[in-house]
Amino acid sequence: MAPTNYFHRLKSYYLKDSEPPKLSSSRFFAYSPGDETDVKITYTLLYVVPFYLSAATRPSPLLSRDAPSVIRARIRAVTLSCIISAAATIYIVSHTDKATPLETLRLLGWWPIAPLEITKSLLLTTLLFAGPLFERGIAEGEWKDWIRGRRIRETLGSWIGWRNYVAGPITEELVFRSLLTPLHLLAHIAPSRIIFLTPLYFGIAHIHHFYEYTLTHPHTPLPPALLRSLVQFAYTTVFGWYATFLFLRTGSLPAVVLAHSFCNWSGLPRVWGRVEAGLPIGPPILKPKDDRDTDGRKSAPMQIADGKLGLMWTAAYYVILVAGAVAFYQGFWILTESKRALATFDTKRSGGK
């Protein structure tokens, strides 16, 4: 396909007028064409604005957003926002589409739990991060901690970890996927447009981090701070495309929540530079007879002096990274196929099998 055709299609997702909704209405509520845009703006503001209404949730030059007291207060505030937004969406769905309680829960992705869809979605996501998993698990030697669960306990034992991997993914996916996507489906907006449109608000909801960063880092020049926020906006928007696609294909809120948590934990994959050893790795220099220290544990491996491994480790990382990306592409449609899908796609035109 020529690049001009691709950009023309991408532009059409954002600019062309959507088909007028064909919705039933009740005497209690009328959901008119274009109302989904107003709802998106309202939900986004309802999610972000409470962070700045109280001194307990509002950061300052002396109080970081990572302070435990701020995190706790923000979790309470955003939980209330989610309850209000969820109640509004349930009311709209039940009165506009005259859906039964079970149909409403299914449209929101809350029920059934769908363990198969959750497993396949998480597998697909991990394929994209095969390289970082190799670097952290093998090169940096974290795999033993993964098996023992020590890293999970340490991470979730802090308020920052609880926010990044539990509260954040749950509340963000609830609002920007589970609550907003059904309203677009009821408005008869094409699934492809939903994928590209709704994540924009998800990305916009993260722009306030620019203000908070400049507030707590007053000596950082404006261009680097702005670039940092633009990169975050781009990353969250791209992830939003993927998460919306997963939600539409699987009809499972837990699937996208776990994918979100995993991506937060993994961070952006390394795309340049050498793989470094964050932890000791390699055979010990002096090996005792029984390969154990005096306390009965195996002797510690040798620490690389400069913190860098051989080039073979870096080559292996990039090979695995590319192989994972190829596997992700190959499994994009297969691993997201589900009988619980909320929308159908023309897989032939999209390149799916």
Cα–Cα distance list, 106 to 6, 26, 110, 341 (Å): 33, 21, 6, 10
Distance in angstroms (rounded) separating the CA atoms of residues 81 and 67: 21
Buried b (16+ CB within 10 A) or exposed e, 184-195: bbbbebbbbbbb
Reference 28, options 73, 76, 92; nearest CA is 92
Cα–Cα distance list, 247 to 105, 225, 237, 267, 282 (Å): 14, 32, 15, 21, 42
The dihedral over CA atoms of 110, 113, 114, 120, expressed in degrees to the nearest 10, equals 90
Distance in angstroms (rounded) separating the CA atoms of residues 228 and 226: 5
Active site residues: 172, 206
Distance in angstroms (rounded) separating the CA atoms of residues 273 and 263: 21
Backbone angles phi, psi at 63, to 5 degrees: -135, 110
Instruction: Report the length, in residues, of the chain.
Output: 353
Question: Which amino acid would we find at residue 240?
Answer: G
Distance in angstroms (rounded) separating the CA atoms of residues 207 and 140: 33
What number of other Cβ atoms are within 10 A of residue 39's Cβ?
20
Distance in angstroms (rounded) separating the CA atoms of residues 304 and 313: 13
